Amino acid sequence: MFGAEILIPAAIGVVFATAIVRAIATRDRAMEATWRTAAAQLEAEFHYGPSARTFFIKKELPVGTLTIARYMRTLGKSKVVSSHATLIPKRSASVAVVQKTAVDRLNAFGVDDVQLGDAETDRALLIQGRPGHVLAVSDARTRRVLTENCLKGLRVEPNLIEMALPTDIESADVLCTSGRMVIDAGERMQLTDTSVFDRLRANILSDDLLSVRRRNFEVLRQDDPLAAEAVADHLVRSIDPNECPMDLAIDVLCTRGRALLVIEHSARLWAGPLGVVGAILGAFNMAGKPCSIPAPALETILAAEDDGVHRTLVDALALQEPAVQDVIGQRLLANARHEDIKADVIALLSMAGGPGTVEILQAQTQGVLGNATTKKAARAAIAAIQARIEGGEIGGLSIIDGSNDAGHGALSPVDHAGALSPVEDES
């Protein structure tokens, strides 16, 4: 009787132990089947690992060696199972990409963090490498793929692309998807010296974001000025100034001594944003040529709170006829914010202004808070204009008869009012 009491629990224990062993064996066979299925779908080799319940899938590809492995690793005194999909690339752009941590975000725009010009990607990813190589491989689709997959555990290093996987994977599709992720990343990271320019150029011409186009152009200009000149030439000749970093293109051409090309195509470029308009003016100034600014572009300049473009307009006015200097100078004086710019405009008006200019200058002499130097310059300019008028020299302006109240002290009207006088293209 006592023997039966002992044997029954023992038998139950054996049954449970046997059931557990069988369950483990069943699970292991299912796991192995999953890995074998994934290997078949990837057309790769299946191998057993060095330890029980470890496997790996391996495939040689044009881009590199793909390995998807389940293996044991030692962690202190314990052994832990890990699973990863990795690609050892044959040729890479020497770029490293990981998801940014909270610390990385606090140290935003660190010296090793290459900015792409895409706010979403720049915020999500820490990217390191040569800026030219990083930008070259980071087209719109690559940025989207890396941003999505790095959030899932993808990590890119110069000689390794790795995807962390769940320890126990029950679906061959998960293994195949992870394998394809690292392969895709590896293909996108491939780069040769000859392809850097081609890919930067493609990004400059066709990326979805203007800020990314600009960033690519900036880096190309730093790395290869001659190549940047070729791209700038194409932009100026063919591309809508609102859809590319045209101001940089114009600056590149002017720096390379090709301001005349900008002047040749200026008629279609004036429709660009303020930066482009200012760059066109700068090209004319560099070539020492007066220019005709369309009225909309002139209004853009005058309305801008931008001392740089106002300074460029002052330099452009210095190349114009006195009548043009007077008309545009009056308006610029009313809009300029910087006292040095006002001083230079006043100097032009002192030589080119007529009776109508005196009233504009008098406004600069008023006010308790006005700049003393500007007030003094305005008074001197008024005196110079009055002396010239009294002497019969009115700076080439046509003054309407004073008997006409509506036109008293005004410039005679012209068909192109609001624009600088047109000049023949001497290029």
Cite the DSSP H helix spans in 304-399.
307-317, 322-335, 339-352, 355-364, 372-390
User: What is the DSSP code string of 18-37?
Assistant: HHHHHHHHHHHHHHHHHHHH
When mean pLDDT is compared across 155-169, 339-353, 362-376, the lowest value belongs to: 362-376
Q: What is the distance between the terminal CA atoms of the chain, rounded to a whole angstrom?
A: 119
Q: How far is CA 307 from the centre of its chain?
A: 24
Q: What are phi and psi for residue 167, nearest 5 degrees?
A: -65, -50
**Based on C-alpha coordinates, what's the Rg of the chain?**
36
Confirm if 179 and 64 have CB atoms less than 8 A apart. no
Encoding tokens for residue 228? 């940047």
Residue type, 34: T
Confirm if 59 and 176 have CB atoms less than 8 A apart. no
Res. 109: pLDDT tops 60: no
When mean pLDDT is compared across 146-155, 247-256, 326-335, 383-392, the lowest value belongs to: 383-392
Could you report the per-residue pLDDT of 40-70, keeping only the tens digit for each?
Answer: 999 999 999 887 778 899 999 999 999 999 8
Could you report the per-residue pLDDT of 207-243, keeping only the tens digit for each?
Answer: 999 999 999 999 999 999 999 999 999 999 999 999 9
Q: How far apart are CA 31 and CA 53, in angstroms?
A: 8
Beta bridge partner(s), residue 156: 97, 161
pLDDT at 31: 83
Res. 247: pLDDT tops 90: yes
Helices 225-238 + 246-255 axis angle, to 10 = 120
| Cα distances (angstroms) measured from residue 315 to each of 53, 309, 310, 318 | 78, 10, 9, 5
Listed in sequence order, the residues at least 6 apart from 198 whose beta carbon sits closer than 8 Å to its beta carbon are: none
pLDDT at 262: 97
Could you report the per-residue pLDDT of 16-40, keeping only the tens digit for each?
Answer: 666 565 555 566 678 888 999 999 9
Return the H-helix or E-strand segment holding 74. strand 64-75
Place of tokens 């793909």: 66
- The share of the chain scoring above pLDDT 70, in percent, equals 82
Q: How far apart are CA 261 and CA 249, in angstroms?
A: 11
Is residue 111 very low, low, confident or very high in pLDDT (cuts 50, 70, 90)?
low
Res. 94: pLDDT tops 60: yes
Q: Where are the domains of the chain?
A: 24-193
Listed in sequence order, the residues at least 6 apart from 92 whose beta carbon sits closer than 8 Å to its beta carbon are: 158, 159, 186, 189, 190, 191
- Per DSSP, the three-state class of 254 is helix
Torsion of the alpha carbons at 335, 339, 340 and 345, rounded to the nearest 10? 40
Res. 189: pLDDT tops 60: yes
Could you report the per-residue pLDDT of 133-149, keeping only the tens digit for each?
Answer: 999 999 999 999 999 99
- Per DSSP, the three-state class of 59 is strand
pTM higher than the cut 0.85: no
| Cα distances (angstroms) measured from residue 341 to each of 2, 94, 308, 314, 315 | 112, 48, 10, 7, 10
